[in-house]
Amino acid sequence: MYQEGKEVAPNVLFENLPSTSKDVCDHRGSNLDIGVPSTSKQSSMSDISLEDRPTSRSESRLSTTSSSSSLLEAENYLLKKQVEELQNQLKSLKVGFNFSAIENNDALINVYTGLPDKALFMAVFKYLNSQNFHYNLGWSVVNISRINQFPMTCMRLKLNPIHKDLALRFGCSVATVSNNMATCDACMFL
């Protein structure tokens, strides 16, 4: 919510609300304290002076609508902040290496794989892909496509990173890297 050109935190919205309206329910159904001080005893209609009481039913409905509108605005604000934080976390988790990131740049293909260009990379890949793969550890690598398994093997041969590094780059387990290395190495040296 914005007020006079600057963002207002949700607790400002609750300053003028009765104490029973100071808690807002978050998306999981639990009460969410937003930092507004509350009194220990609940206010009742008898505690309110005659000047503070609504004079008609329409004013009462308007007051209730205003309170619920403020609650919805505060909840909306909190949910937007939560979505923003989760989107930032998701962006950091989506970092992964794959062949599509380097396929249009021959210099990068050379840096990572040791092969001079995409044409040779694809020729070697097509040859290896036509071979009957029998994974050496007895289970198939299914979470990484074969077009990404080949650069992983080339990177291991050229750059010599540890398996944990390759697992982090390709978003898989160290066992998957080991299985891929043993299998591709065996296919390439036949």
Domain segments of the chain: what residues?
2-93, 99-188
Mean pLDDT, the chain, rounded, equals 74
Tokens of 151: 């650069």
* Choice between 120 and 146, residue whose per-residue pLDDT is larger: 120
Question: In this prediction, what percent of the chain has a pLDDT beyond 70?
Answer: 63
pLDDT at site 80: 95
Residues 25-70: tens digit of each pLDDT: 444 444 444 444 444 444 444 444 445 555 555 555 656 677 788 8
pLDDT, position 110: 96
CA distances from 158 to 68, 113, 178, 184, 188 (A): 63, 6, 16, 14, 14
> What is the C-alpha separation between 165 and 145, in angstroms, rounded?
18
Whole-structure pTM value: 0.49
Predicted confidence (pLDDT) per residue in 138-168, tens digit: 888 888 888 999 999 999 999 999 999 999 9
Range 182-186 average pLDDT: 80
